[in-house]
Every structure is written in structure tokens, then in C-alpha cells.
Structure 1
């Protein structure tokens, strides 16, 4: 395996080097703090106005559109949603000039729409993405890119054929924290990766997807027949429309909605294609409201050795019954140390000594012939990298990456191939849970084994 390792301390740069040499930093308890610099990556001589259409004006659709409109020379011209109440709200929020419709194909016919944001329920991601690409529109599709692994290659093939720019909305891959972690891992900061773990914790009705049901949410204001037209036909059910994440016909549960963020970040940092063995277990422990998905889920994943990284294992957890509330992290553990990665911060923890206070291990070391050596000046136990305060956030940068690629014909951080490789193990985690078995996956060729 080709893995070039450099001297980590030599690569810290001026700020890190000064911190490491300062008297305070010589203490084992000290932290060396460094700012993660913002790269001026969205400057372009081409400032052509990009006109957007939004398809799916719910929680994420609103958040995505507001982030997009923070960029210069970006306009929203059309909105589509199956619920009329959201169309009315869209005009109140963004202006009466908007063209609004309940039919996404009507929006895609418009010549004044250059690109679309797709923020519908998961079971419509594939078809609307393909329809948009075939209509000559650039696409921003919320994660997960598809509702099942059998849909992935259809989207990839449509994208390649279209010549348009498509990005998948796991915004963490555009974060300063992820970028810094990728750089540090490549420089050998923590040695070779051997293990990683991630965790999502929530403890609120909204966090557990018990969203409010609008008083006017009914068959007269919602195009229910269209909503279920690509899945099992059912009578009108407001819970299945407004709380769709809880139902398998429309959503992808904890793994598709949240694990996919952790997969995206991990794959970006490690240059991994994904795991080849997937397993999961969990259960419905608290939110027994008729949902079809667990509220506690554990997943374990086996990543094979590749040219890019050593073989390692991944453990992911998600808990909607957690009193700590709001906790999330990704930790990467290597042969020399570990990294705790957030979107705005990276904490590197380094192993400085192999000694132990365990009497048994101390005796074994003595029998092995280990001898006391002269004390040494040690580097900091922790190096903390924090985003500059004027950073506008991963959401802003993810859209900036997309707009830049549209204007210049460039590439994006999370194209459909990357997006599918992040979505697949998350979706297969569900399959493992419901089928009670290990799932074998070929991450290179992106197919089941």
C-alpha cells in the first residue's frame, strides 16, 4: 500500500510550530490552538446570475434555499411542493414574483430555471433528479441521493449523460473541519487509521421527527395521489405525508437521514469508497407513535485495505432517546493518535508514551527489558484546530462549490458517484436491520455481492 508519511510537527505551519515550542505547550496538559483558514474559493470572473427552482419546500428546502440566496447573483424564480400551504408560505417568504406549482414537471419546463434544489421526501429523489437532468437543469439533491441501492446507477448514468453539474447535499464535505481532518490524516498526524466511530443523539419530539401537522393539511391541499404514485397506494394519511421520515415507503430512517452524513465525512477525509460488510441492530424504545423505523440504531462496518488507506472498522450509533440531547461527533483513531472531527473544529489527540499505570503491564514491560530513559520534552497532548470566526458555514460553502462548478464547468465535492457511495452503506444498514443479516457490498463497483 502506498502511504507516504511525513513528519507531522514539521507540517503544522508557523502557528502550530510556535505553539508547540512555547513554554505552556511543553506541559502534557497543554493544547496548541490553531485557526483553520478560510480559502477564497468562490471567486470567478464569471458572475452570471443563476436562477433557481426549489422542489420540496419543507424544512430542508427552506434551509437550502436560504443558504443558496446568501450568494451573490443567485435568484429564486420557482417553487414546487405537493402541499399548497408551503407554496403560499414560499411567496410570503421569498416574494410574489415566484412561479408556484404542485407538479415538478411544470417547473422543469421553464426556460428561466437554470438549476434546481431537490428537497422532497427520499422516495422522490431519484425520479426528480433524472427528470431535472434530462430537462437540462443543474441539480442539488438532498441526501440520501436515492431511496434504495437499486436506484443509484440510474441517477449516475443520467448525470453522466446530461453534462450538467449535480451535487448531493451532505454539507459536511464542504466544511473546514472535514478539509482540515483530510489534510492531517494524509500528513500522518494520527498514523494509519484502524477504527472510526460516530454518534448522533437527540431527545425531543421534533428531533425524533414528530413534526407538527398543519391544520389545513388535508386531501384538498395536498396532492396525495401524486405523493404515493411511485410506491404503495394508500388512503390519505397526514402522518405519512408530514412525518414521512418515520415510514419506509418514503424515508430511509436514522441511517439514511443521519448516518449518511457521517459516511460522507468519513469517505471525504479518508478517500474511501466504503465498506464491504455491513451489519446493524437496534429497536423502537420510546417513540412508539406508529413509526416503522427504530429510534435506537447501531451499525458496524468493515472497510477493506486499499491504496488510499489501511483496513479499518467503523461503528455508528444513533439514539433518539438520549438525555444528553444534540450530541454528534465523528472520531477517527489511528496508530499514533486520534481526531475528533466537527464541521467547525478538529481536535487531534496524540499518544506520547506507551507506559501504563496497570501493575500487570508494568511488570510485563520490566520482564521485556524496557528500561527507564531520560525525560523528554513532549509536544502537546492535543492540537485544536478551529474555524475562523468569520466563516460562513458548511451549508454556505457547499452551495458555493455548486455555483462555482456551474459557472466554470468545474467539479464538486460530492458528485453522484460520491453521493451514492455514501448513501449505499446507510441504506444497506436498514436492510441488515430489517432482514437480520450481514450485507456484503462491493464499494468499488457499487453493487451487492
Structure 2
């Protein structure tokens, strides 16, 4: 680990090293602030147009598309959704010129589609991603990349064969906060990594997936047969279509929706391939609305020592019964300090020691044969890195990275291999919970043990 840091600092150069290690050089104030900026993001202003299609025009599909369209020379040409109401809304939102369909195969046949955004329910991510790449389209697929670990290698193999650019939509890997945390950890700013924890909390009905059901949502406006064609056949149920995250046939619960973001950020910051032991506990405490997944979930994960990082443990928590108005963070703890990491901010906390003037402590030190003066730990000083107000956000930059890779033949931070290694422990967290057992995973070869 020390050799890796020495190599990093050499590459970084003297000036960069000082900046990276700046948490060690606090002022006399308890808290100091620095601003995060990004330089060198390639502009698409003079580049050829990228023609997009959206598959899955729900809440996240709309957010993804609106964000993508903020980039220059990107246009939306087609939309697919199994609910006709969303197709009508898409034309109102983005224009009557759109080709709309309930069949994604029809959309993928079109020569005027260069790339697709896949924002469907989780159980369709694998097949539509493969279909799109086989049709010669670049892919932006919402997280988690797959619905179960057995699907991961199918997507990876299709991606490698296609030569197309596929990115998975955990936007945090394109955030200023994560990039700074990665730099700080590699520089040794908080010492050796020993522990990490993440927390995600919500309370509102929408945050807990009690989405509104359209009045016209019925078998005449929804292609229910197609929706369930790759899973168990059931009679029409509007809850299973419009609130799909609550049901295991279509969604992946709290871990697939939210833990996967924390895994993505952690793996990006640490260069980790993932944990080798996974366990979970939780329960359905409040949202007893017929859902099949818990509303409180706790996961614990063991990360073995590798050449990329020291061994450490991870604890993740998710709570949909949160009376504190909601909290989200990732905390990374080292032997010298810690970092609280958000997409737009990193707070570095470093312990400081001073000589104690407590007579009792001094006497105890003397009896133990220690020096007469004994150091004590004071509350940590903090250095806050925060994004400039004009930063357009991780979501914007995540799409920008994808568009740049499409135009230049480059790579993205979250390709399908990275995406699967982030999805797998989240999905296995569910398996541990429902099977009530510890699960062992090979993060290098991406397979169950």
C-alpha cells in the first residue's frame, strides 16, 4: 500500500501532492473549506449529433432524458413504454415528431437511433441491453445493471462482442465528490482504509415507492402481457406495474435501488472489485401495503485485502421509516482520519493530539512508566471540499462522459464490468436477507462460491 501511494504521489507531482494532502495542513480554525472544480470536460458543441431513444418513460427515464438533452448536439427521436399514457406525455413533453411504440424491438430497428437510455423496471435491464447492443446501439442502462447475478455475464459478453459503449447509471462515479475522495484516499490523507459505512433514508410515500396510479392505467392502456413475459404470469395488477420496485419479480428492493449507488461510489473511490462475504437483516416495519421487500435493511460486507486496498469492512443501512427528514452519506474511515463523501462534497476529519494537563492522566502515565506528559485526542479538525455553484451535477457529467466516449471511441467510468461488480453485492444482499444466510462471492471472477 505504501509503495502504491509513493507511485501515486510521483505521478501527481509536488504541487498536486500538497493539494491532495491538504487535510494534513489545517489552519488554526476547526473547519476550512476548498472548492471543487472540473477541468477538461470535452465540449460537444461542434461534434456530430447523437440521436437518442428512451426505453422506459417513467420517473427516472424522464430525468435521464431531460439531463441528456441539456448537452449540445443530442436529440431525442423515439420513445418506448408499455403504458400508452407515458407515450402521449412524451410527445407533449418533447415534441410530436417522436416515434413512439410499446415494443422496444420496433424502436431498435430504426436507423435514426444511435443510442438508447434504458430506464425500465429492473427485470428488463438485461434483455433490452443485449437487444440494443446486438442492434448496434450504444447503451445507457439504469442501475442495477441486472435483476440477478446469473444475468451479469450475459450482458458483459454482449457488450464485449458489440464494440458499443455501455454505461450503467450510477451517476456518483462521475461526481466531483467521489473524484476528490478517490484522490485523497490514494494520497494517504486518511491513512489505511479499515472501515466504511453508508446510509440512505426516506419517509415520504413517493420515496418509499408508493407511486401514484394513473386513473387510466388498465389492461387497455398497458401491455401487461409483454411486461410479465419474462417472469411469472399473473392477472393484471396495477400495483405490480406502477409500483414495481416493491415486488421481487420486477424490482430489486432497497439494495438494488439504493445500496448499489453506495457500492458504485465506494468501488470507484477505492478501486475495489467488491466484497467476498455478504450478510443482511431487516424487516417490513411500516409500509405494509402488500410489498414483498423490507423497508428497513442492514447489510454487512467483508472486503479482503488486495493490491488495490487493505482489508476492510462495510456496513450499509437503508430506512424508509425515517423521521429525521432523510439522510444520505458514505463514510470512509482510515487509520489517520475519515471522509464523509457526497456527490457534491467531501468532509475530511483528521484527529489531532495535544499534551494533557489532567493530573490524573499524568499520574497514571507515570505509574505505567510513560513520559510525564501524555497526549490526548481532541475533537477532529475538518476540511470541507465542496462543488462550485455553477457545477451542473454528477448526472449531467455522467451523460457527458458517455457522449464523449461514443464520439471518441473512449471508455466510461462505469462500464458493464464495473456495473456488475457494484450490482452483485447489492443483489446478493437481498438473497442473504430472504435466504437467511451468509453468502460468499468471488469479486474477481464475478461468481458465487
Equivalents in 2 of 1:357, 1:310: separation in Å?
36
Q: Which moved more, 1:367-376 or 1:85-94?
A: 367-376
Q: Aligned equivalents of 1:154 and 1:225: distance in 2?
A: 24
Q: CA deviation at 1:75?
A: 0.2
Q: Secondary structure at the match of 1:26?
A: coil
Aligned to 1:3: 4
Superposition deviation, residue 360 in structure 1: 9.3
What is the alpha-carbon distance in structure 1 between the residues aligned to residue 355 and residue 325 of structure 2? 36
Q: Are the structure 2 counterparts of residues 17 and 143 from structure 1 closer, same or farther at C-alpha, using a change threshold of 3 Å?
A: closer
- Residue equivalent to 1:101: 101
Counterpart residue number, 1:78: 78
Kept after mapping to 2: 8 A contact 1:117/1:141: yes
What is the TM-score when the length of structure 1 is the normalising length?
0.93
Q: Displacement, 1:32?
A: 1.8
Number of residue pairs matched? 443
Question: Which residue number corresponds to residue 126 of structure 2?
Answer: 126
| Change in 2 beyond 3 A, CA 1:362/1:85 | farther
Tell me which residue corresponds to 1:33.
Answer: 33
Q: Note closer, same or farther for the CA distance 1:350–1:40 as it changes in structure 2 (3 Å cut).
A: same
Q: Distance in 2 between matches of 1:320 and 1:358?
A: 45
Distance in 1 of aligned mates of 2:413 and 2:236: 39
Change (3 A) 1:108 1:359: farther
Aligned to 2:399: 399
Is the partner of 1:33 in helix, strand or coil?
Answer: strand
What is residue 324 of structure 1 aligned with on the other side?
324
- Number of the residue aligned with 2:177: 177
Report the secondary structure of 2:353's partner residue: coil
| Alignment partners' CA distance in 1, 2:77 and 2:361 | 68
Residue 302 (structure 2) aligns with: 302
Match of 1:197 in 2: 197
Give the conservation status (yes or no) of the 8 Å contact 1:38–1:388.
no
Return the offset for 1:351: 1.4
Separation (CA, whole Å) in 2 of partners of 1:362 and 1:192: 30
What is the distance in 2 between the residues matched to 1:183 and 1:241?
42
Q: Could you list the per-position Cα deviations for residues 371-406 of structure 1 after superposition, in whole angstroms to 9, with x for gaps in the alignment?
A: 356999x99811110111110000000000000000
Give the Å deviation of 1:41: 1.5
Superimposed CA distance per residue, residues 420-439 of structure 1 (whole angstroms, 9 cap, x where no aligned partner):
00000000000000000000
Could you tell me how far 1:339 is from its partner in structure 2? 0.1
Uncovered stretches (5+) of structure 2, i.e. residues with no partner? none
Unaligned 5+ segments in structure 1 are: none
SS at match of 1:263: helix
Partner SS for 2:4: coil
Q: Do the aligned residues in 1 keep the contact of 2:353 with 2:375 (CA within 8 Å)?
A: no
Shift of 1:38: 1.7
CA apart distance, 1:124: 0.1
1:59-105 deviation digits (Å, cap 9, x = unpaired) = 00000000000000000000000000000000000000000000000
Report the CA distance shift for 1:382/1:292 in structure 2 as closer, same or farther (over 3 A): same
The aligned residue for residue 422 of structure 1 is 422
Shift of 1:4: 2.1
Q: CA deviation at 1:311?
A: 0.1
Distance 2:401 2:448 in 1: 31
Matches of 1:214 and 1:18 in 2, distance apart?
51
The CA RMSD measured in Å over matched residues stands at: 2.7
- Flag the 1:348–1:359 CA change in 2: closer, same or farther, 3 A: farther
Q: Give 1:368 deviation, angstroms.
A: 4.3
Question: What is the distance in 1 between the residues matched to 2:219 and 2:23?
Answer: 65
Change (3 A) 1:14 1:265: closer
Change in CA separation of 1:146 and 1:364 when aligned onto 2, cut-off 3 Å: farther
When residues 415 and 365 of structure 1 are mapped into structure 2, their CA distance, relative to the original with a 3 A threshold, is farther
Change (3 A) 1:116 1:375: same
Q: The residue matched to 1:127 in structure 2 has which SS?
A: helix
Change in CA separation of 1:17 and 1:212 when aligned onto 2, cut-off 3 Å? closer
